[in-house]
């Protein structure tokens, strides 16, 4: 299906499935807001706000989208009252198409829509599922209040502790030591369970025949080891000499094709073979798993992994293993026990986690989706999805490339089964689907695209300069070859001023850095050079707040921030996880502790010495009882007003203008305090926490080595 250009006023709002593809900066939020305006005002039977569902994938995006829709409705109302030459072209065209006798009726509809906008479901996919389950608890078999799990990581940690104590530690010592050498440990199990829990669309491989979660790991892994060991010994005795000859023949072939063949040799040599044979001959009983893992030749030479890696450049995914039964037997003794232990845990952990939640009367975010999921091959919509279908007439799905298979099944069976009733508009960027954010994947996007009866594109970039857009168009002209995705060219339509660059350098540059010289230091040096080159943005010199640095891992971001600080370049780490390790989070902890118990002198002194108040040691030592009483009284008042003020406002009251200015001079400290406070405030609101409970929540989170990033408000997208 060809990609037609999107027309804001010509886009059909008739029932059906439409796909709207939008690259970054091409105005998808604008398009969505305008479509909502049209849906609420056009046709013989315009939508009521309660009949509209708008889904995006973060709370922050949902809040922004609701605000943009409200502003669009207000702009339309202003234009209906009087001419406005500053209104954008699509809005002017919408107004021009209206007949005179329609204006009053449409004004009434839009005023009513604005009044009732809070009733519109503009939410995340999980928020949509939760509201549906609350409205239709009877059909879902749930109570009237769907209790969302608040301590998910703690529950997973306890479950892993129980599994480790009851099923892993009773293993024979050689198996336990071997698993640990393969990085099977409680931390890995917690992370694995978190991934499974957060993405219910992930499918586990079935347990091998004869294995069951009803039996403990120790009951099954020890007999399994005996079987695979015997199989390995038999295959080794029968095939090892022939294997060495076939390795050499394969190396000759790879060399003839111009492919590197290491670690294999062009002529068969018995050295590696003899080392393994000598080790085997010295065994008086079957080897232990830990002892086998110390045989480097088995892992790095006689294992199918190294051979497949060497042969893949010549044969792709059609590599034929020499003496395949032996290589497969080697893999079974090297990786098999660890893989089976992890698979057994994942199956057991998923089931046990659900059982414990049911017992506590709670439900996870992942289970919200599972409750509405009609299953892979449903014959008809479930009662829940039938209720959804009756409630909404139109659904607009933002960031559709992040939709996973379960979410697509829900949307499809709720909105695509009555073609004459529902409009389903999916807005996404297939290029981003390759990253598998939030469980989305390209195959789901392609499946949905194949079922759409219209495919449209946004081609006007309103974010970047013409020169940069031209460079990116040239870079992306071949498309994404690995994913077989075309990348349509976009037109530069931004009107945000220009970056004036002395010497007119290329706006898009690919720079090669030397890893041996320290990547973070080199990047910090590049930033310093940019700031000193006299670049002008809309006539003013650029400052550090105009730079944005993207990295792939949190530890890289922290190292880069430190490198920038060494060059006296202020920065802000836009990361919810790492902010809890910052000086700002530590200061916030002292503030919450003091709010909870303002009468404790020790807590008052810790707060006074923190970055929030910044008293020196001499000032603390010289402070009188009256001064401490005054601080305690101020904190008591703030604690009483905390539910109404909110945490960030309470902080501002404590510090005042002078305190905020002083904190801003300490590099990133002010930003870190504010960022941490926003996240704590979000939890206070969600869980109904007071000062003491919030202090305990923050302390627990800061002490966890591998904490979950809490859900919270949006973060700025620029480093400052």
Q: What is the CATH number of the domain that holds 621?
A: 1.10.486.10
Q: What is the pLDDT of residue 720?
A: 30
Q: Are 235 and 220 in contact (CB under 8 A)?
A: no
3 state SS of 212: coil
CA separation for the pair 460, 473 (Å, rounded): 12
pLDDT tens digit sequence for 451-468: 998 999 999 998 888 888
pLDDT tens digit sequence for 386-397: 989 999 999 999
DSSP string across 167-188: IITTS-HHHHHHHHHTT-SHHH
Same-domain check for residues 306 and 226: yes
Q: What is the pLDDT of residue 719?
A: 33
Say if 83 falls within a structural domain: yes
Which one is predicted more confidently, 677 or 173? 173
Percentage of the chain beyond pLDDT 90 is 47
| Diameter of the chain measured on Cα atoms | 98
pLDDT tens digit sequence for 682-712: 778 766 788 888 888 888 877 765 555 444 4
Report the range of poorest mean pLDDT among 101-105, 493-497, 588-592, 698-702: 493-497
Q: What is the pLDDT of residue 686?
A: 66
3 state SS of 457: strand
CA separation for the pair 196, 354 (Å, rounded): 12
- Which residue stretches of 205-303 are H helix? 217-256, 271-281, 289-292, 296-300
Same-domain check for residues 446 and 475: no
Same-domain check for residues 201 and 334: yes
3 state SS of 123: strand
Q: What is the pLDDT of residue 586?
A: 87
Q: Which residues pair with 485 in a beta bridge?
A: 480
Out of 37-41, 360-364, 641-645, the most confident range is: 37-41
Q: Where are the beta strands (DSSP E) in 10-76?
A: 16-22, 52-56
Say if 719 falls within a structural domain: no
Same-domain check for residues 319 and 236: yes
Mean pLDDT on 396-400:
92
Mean pLDDT on 178-185:
94
pLDDT tens digit sequence for 619-636: 998 999 899 999 999 999
**Nearest one of 439, 370, 452, 457 to 412, comparing CA atoms:** 452
Mean pLDDT on 147-162:
83
State the average pLDDT for the chain. 86
Q: What is the pLDDT of residue 712?
A: 41
**Nearest one of 479, 476, 462, 475 to 506, comparing CA atoms:** 475
3 state SS of 421: coil
The answer, yes or no, to whether residue 718 has pLDDT greater than 50, is no
Q: What is the pLDDT of residue 716?
A: 31
pLDDT tens digit sequence for 45-71: 999 999 999 998 787 788 889 999 999
Say if 144 falls within a structural domain: no
DSSP string across 125-156: HHHHHHHHHHHTHHHHT--SS--B-S-HHHHH
CA separation for the pair 668, 309 (Å, rounded): 45
Burial class (CB in 10 A: 0-12, 13-18, 19+), 142: middle
CA separation for the pair 109, 51 (Å, rounded): 14
**Nearest one of 261, 236, 263 to 250, comparing CA atoms:** 261
Same-domain check for residues 175 and 243: yes
Which one is predicted more confidently, 30 or 710? 30
pTM: 0.68
Q: What is the CATH number of the domain that holds 375?
A: 3.40.50.300
Q: What is the pLDDT of residue 20?
A: 95
- Tokens 């108040």 correspond to what residue? 613
pLDDT band, residue 616 (cuts 50/70/90) = confident
Q: What is the pLDDT of residue 659?
A: 63
CA separation for the pair 224, 118 (Å, rounded): 59
Out of 261-275, 579-593, 638-652, the most confident range is: 261-275
CA separation for the pair 397, 226 (Å, rounded): 53
List the 540-541 sheet strands across, edge first.
Answer: 499-500, 536-537, 540-541
Same-domain check for residues 163 and 252: yes
Same-domain check for residues 485 and 528: no
Same-domain check for residues 32 and 107: yes
Same-domain check for residues 265 and 239: yes
pLDDT tens digit sequence for 299-335: 999 999 999 999 999 998 889 999 999 999 999 999 9
Which one is predicted more confidently, 88 or 1? 88
Same-domain check for residues 92 and 164: no
Say if 509 falls within a structural domain: no
Q: What is the pLDDT of residue 463?
A: 86
Domain count, the chain: 5
**Nearest one of 535, 601, 596, 576 to 708, comparing CA atoms:** 576
Backbone phi and psi for residue 512, each to the nearest 5 degrees, phi listed first: -95, 125
CA separation for the pair 625, 456 (Å, rounded): 71
Say if 714 falls within a structural domain: no
3 state SS of 383: helix
Say if 87 falls within a structural domain: yes
Range of the domain at 528: 522-566
Same-domain check for residues 268 and 197: yes
Say if 342 falls within a structural domain: yes
**Nearest one of 460, 457, 444 to 486, comparing CA atoms:** 457
DSSP string across 267-284: S--SHHHHHHHHHHHT-S
Say if 561 falls within a structural domain: yes
Percentage of the chain beyond pLDDT 70 is 91
CA separation for the pair 572, 671 (Å, rounded): 7
- The number of beta carbons lying within 10 Å of the beta carbon of residue 557 is 21
Same-domain check for residues 668 and 558: no
**Nearest one of 64, 217, 59 to 123, comparing CA atoms:** 59
Q: What is the pLDDT of residue 440?
A: 55
């Amino acid at each position: 299906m060809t990609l037609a250009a999107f027309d804001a006023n010509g886009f059909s709002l008739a029932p059906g499935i439409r796909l709207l593809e939008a690259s970054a900066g091409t105005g998808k939020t604008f398009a969505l807001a305008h479509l909502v305006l049209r849906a609420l005002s056009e046709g013989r039977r315009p939508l009521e706000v309660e009949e509209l569902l708008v889904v995006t994938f973060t709370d922050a995006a949902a809040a922004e989208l609701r605000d943009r829709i409200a502003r669009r409705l207000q702009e339309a109302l202003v234009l209906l009252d009087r001419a406005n030459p500053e209104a954008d072209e699509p809005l002017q065209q919408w107004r021009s198409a209206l007949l005179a006798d329609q204006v009053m009726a449409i004004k009434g509809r839009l005023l009513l829509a604005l009044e009732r906008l809070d009733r519109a479901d503009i939410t995340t996919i999980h928020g949509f599922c939760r509201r549906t389950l609350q409205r239709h608890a009877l059909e879902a078999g749930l109570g009237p209040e769907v209790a969302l799990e608040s301590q998910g990581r703690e529950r997973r940690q306890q479950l892993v502790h129980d599994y480790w104590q009851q099923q892993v530690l009773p293993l024979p010592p050689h198996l336990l030591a071997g698993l640990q050498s393969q990085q099977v440990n409680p931390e890995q199990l917690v992370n694995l369970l978190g991934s499974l829990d957060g993405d219910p669309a992930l499918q586990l491989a079935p347990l091998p025949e004869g294995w069951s979660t009803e039996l403990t790991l120790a009951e099954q892994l020890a007999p399994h080891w005996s079987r695979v060991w015997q199989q390995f010994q038999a295959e080794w005795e029968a095939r090892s000499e022939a294997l060495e000859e076939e390795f050499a023949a394969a190396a000759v072939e790879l060399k003839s094709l111009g492919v590197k063949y290491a670690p294999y040799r062009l002529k068969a040599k018995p050295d590696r073979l003899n080392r393994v044979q000598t080790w085997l001959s010295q065994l008086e009983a079957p080897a232990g798993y830990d002892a086998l893992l110390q045989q480097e030749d088995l892992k790095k030479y006689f294992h199918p992994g190294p051979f497949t890696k060497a042969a893949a450049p010549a044969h792709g995914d059609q590599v034929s293993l020499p003496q395949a039964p032996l290589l497969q037997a080697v893999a079974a003794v090297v990786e098999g026990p660890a893989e089976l232990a992890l698979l057994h845990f994942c199956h057991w952990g998923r089931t046990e986690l659900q059982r414990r939640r049911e017992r506590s009367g709670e439900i996870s975010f992942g289970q919200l989706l599972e409750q509405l999921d009609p299953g892979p091959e449903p014959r008809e919509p479930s009662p829940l999805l039938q209720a959804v279908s009756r409630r909404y007439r139109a659904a607009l799905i933002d960031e559709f490339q992040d939709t996973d298979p379960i979410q697509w099944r829900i949307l499809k069976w709720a909105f695509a089964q009555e073609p004459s009733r529902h409009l389903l508009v999916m807005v996404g960027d297939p290029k981003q689907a390759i990253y598998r954010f939030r469980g989305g994947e390209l195959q789901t996007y392609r499946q949905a695209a194949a079922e759409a009866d219209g495919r449209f594109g946004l081609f006007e970039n309103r974010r970047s300069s013409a020169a940069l857009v031209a460079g990116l168009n040239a870079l992306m002209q071949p498309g994404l070859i690995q994913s077989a995705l075309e990348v349509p060219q976009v037109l530069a339509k931004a009107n945000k001023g220009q970056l004036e660059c002395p010497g007119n350098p290329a706006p898009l540059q690919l720079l090669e850095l030397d890893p041996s010289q320290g990547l973070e230091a080199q990047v910090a040096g590049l930033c310093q050079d940019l700031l000193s080159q006299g670049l002008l943005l809309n006539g003013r010199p650029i400052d550090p707040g105009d730079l944005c640095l993207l990295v792939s891992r949190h530890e890289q971001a922290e190292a880069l921030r430190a490198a920038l600080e060494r060059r006296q370049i202020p920065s802000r780490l836009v990361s919810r996880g790492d902010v809890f390790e910052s000086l700002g989070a530590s200061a916030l902890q002292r503030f919450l502790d003091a709010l909870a118990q303002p009468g404790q002198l020790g807590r008052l002194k810790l707060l006074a010495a923190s970055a929030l108040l910044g008293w020196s040691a001499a000032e603390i030592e010289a402070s009188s009882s009256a001064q401490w009483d005054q601080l305690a009284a101020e904190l008591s008042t703030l604690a009483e007003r905390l539910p109404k003020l909110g945490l960030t406002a309470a902080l501002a009251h404590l510090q005042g203008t002078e305190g905020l200015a002083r904190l801003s001079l300490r590099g990133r400290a002010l930003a870190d305090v504010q960022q941490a406070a926003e996240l704590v405030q979000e939890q206070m609101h969600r869980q109904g926490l007071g000062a003491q409970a919030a202090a305990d929540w923050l302390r627990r989170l800061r002490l966890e080595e591998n904490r979950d990033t809490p859900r919270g408000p949006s973060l700025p997208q620029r480093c400052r």
